[in-house]
Amino acid sequence: MILIAEKKTEIERVSFEEGLRFFQNDSLEELQEKAVRIRNFWNDPKTVTFIIDTNPNYTNVCTANCSFCAFYRRPKSSQAYTHSVEDVMQMIEQSVNLGVTTVLLQGGLHPDLPLSYYVHLVRETRKHFPSVTPHFFSAPEIKNIADVNKISVLDVLQALYEAGQRTLPGGGAEILTDRVRNLISPEKLSAADWLNVHETAHQVGFRSTATMMFGTKESDEDILTHLCSLRDLQDRTGGFTAFIPWSYKPINSKTVWEYTRNDASMYYRVLAFSRIFLDNFAHIQASWFSEGKETGKKSLQYGADDFGGTLFIENVHKAAKFENKSTVDEIRQLISEAGYNPVQRTTLYETMRKKIAGEMEELLFTKVPPNPFKKL
């Protein structure tokens, strides 16, 4: 049993073997009770956060050929596209007019784009939209940029950091075991490479999220290995802000496996167990977007403290004919209906109120020089 000390100063760590036993044998209600207790240790029991964001794409060209993906197109496909930096800026501007504070920009693994293209995307975003956090480029993209440009992952990350980027999304993790990756995405980066990109990013100064897509060919042991890898990396760097699991969507992808675990009860089980096992993660995010609004709302009772974002633009799930849309007002309503107070946050999980207060304090006490004639 997971115990929280009476003074709420620590959470007892669950081993791989204990975790596997909990995941396989505990009832959903038992996992739920433990998860909610740990969720409330980390976060305000009365609030659930959300973010106003969007998820446009700069290209759908990709060489990874992942069997689960309905979004990508081969480089010579008549449906392939790569947007100019100016076109991406127009997409961001449209989103900013809707109140977006974070742009999660992702694309395929393009075989030709130079590093300068990616750096220019970051610089132009920071220049024209200083209120926006450029939450750009997943680990597979970072590794691909390095390979295409024949430089190191560190070189890529340092260039993006110097351009003004400070956070990375956690996409492309799927399941972090090479056994599963060789079955569903053999041409994509390895589990070790995904982890290396995030560890290097944390060392440079980035914060990032971590994800998991389940419901393909993974075993329970693979899920535990994935979570252990994330927990071990978080022990070393502390660079992850949140963990977000979601289930595989089979429509329109090249392969539909007979073995799938993407019903609501399995999602609740994975979500609750993740909250129990990832004892060094402050935030677990529910995914109304990938699981549906009612499932997303109910999942807040299974250990999640965050409801994700508005995702005004999103094309990857849309390509798999799984499309959800929402508004800020509806997000607030769904959180309220689940019994929590909705609170808008930033990419780094600051509440917007605290962020604004911090900016005002910086303006008053840092940017304004002291009056040299004022008597002390």
Asked if residues 189 and 139 have their Cβ atoms less than 8 Å apart, the reply is yes
What does DSSP assign to residue 14? P
Higher-pLDDT residue of 294 and 4 is 294
Which one is the CATH code of 16-367: 3.30.56.10, 3.20.20.70, 3.40.50.10490, 1.20.120.80? Answer: 3.20.20.70
Chain-centre distance of CA 278, in angstroms?
15
Question: By C-alpha distance, which of 47, 46, 19, 44 is closest to 34?
Answer: 19
What is the reported pLDDT for 83? 95
* Banded model confidence at residue 262, pLDDT cuts 50, 70, 90: low
pLDDT digit string (tens) for 264-307? 999 999 999 999 999 999 999 998 888 989 999 999 999 999 99
Report angle CA 148, 154, 157 to the nearest 5 degrees: 80
pLDDT at residue 73, as a whole number:
79
Distance CA 230, CA 175 (A): 11
- Please report, rounded to a whole number, the percentage of residues in the chain having pLDDT higher than 90: 71
pLDDT of residue 248: 87
CA gap 248, 238 in Å, rounded: 28
Res. 260: pLDDT tops 60: no
Output the pTM of the full model: 0.86
Task: Report residue 208: phi and psi, to 5°.
Answer: -145, 165
Q: Return the pLDDT at 258.
A: 52
- How sure is the predictor about 365, in pLDDT bands with cuts at 50, 70 and 90? very low
The separation between the first and the last C-alpha atoms of the chain, rounded to the nearest angstrom, is 59
Strands 47-51 and 341-344, sheet pairing: parallel
Residue 309: strand, helix, or coil: strand
Q: What percent of the chain has pLDDT over 70?
A: 82
Nearest 5°: phi and psi at 96? -60, -35
| Residue 94 structure tokens | 């449209």
Sheet holding 167-168, edge to edge: 167-168, 207-214, 240-247, 283-284
pLDDT tier at 182, thresholds 50, 70, 90: very high
Residues in the chain: 376
Instruction: Give per-residue pLDDT as tens, 295-324.
Output: 999 999 999 999 998 866 544 444 334 445
In the predicted model, is pLDDT for residue 375 greater than 80? no
For residue 86, the surrounding DSSP H or E stretch is helix 85-96
CA angle 65, 68, 72 (to 5 degrees): 50
Higher pLDDT, 66 or 270: 270
Q: 10 Å Cβ neighbour count for 176? A: 25
Taking residue 59's Cβ as centre, other Cβ atoms within 10 Å add up to 21
pLDDT digit string (tens) for 112-153? 999 999 999 999 999 999 999 999 999 999 999 999 999 999
pLDDT band at residue 10 under the 50/70/90 scheme = low
**What is the distance of C-alpha 321 from the center of its chain?**
21
- Region 357-366: mean pLDDT is 41
Give residue-wise pLDDT tens across range 142-181. 999 999 999 999 999 999 999 999 999 999 999 999 999 9
Of 168, 138, 176, nearest to 237 (Cα)? 168
Up-side HSE of residue 192: CA atoms within 13 Å toward CB? 1
Residue of higher predicted confidence among 261 and 94: 94
The region of weakest confidence among 52-56, 119-123, 349-353 is 349-353
Task: Specify the range with the lowest mean pLDDT, choosing from 15-24, 65-74, 275-284, 305-314.
Answer: 65-74
Q: CA 321 to CA 36: how far, in whole Å?
A: 33
The mean of the pLDDT values for the chain is: 86
Rounded average pLDDT over 79-97: 93
Q: What is the number of other CB atoms lying within 10 angstroms of the CB of residue 254?
A: 10
What's CA 3's distance to the chain center, in Å? 28
DSSP for 339-376, written as a single string: T-EEEEB-TTS-BHHHHHHHHHHHIIIIISPP-TT---
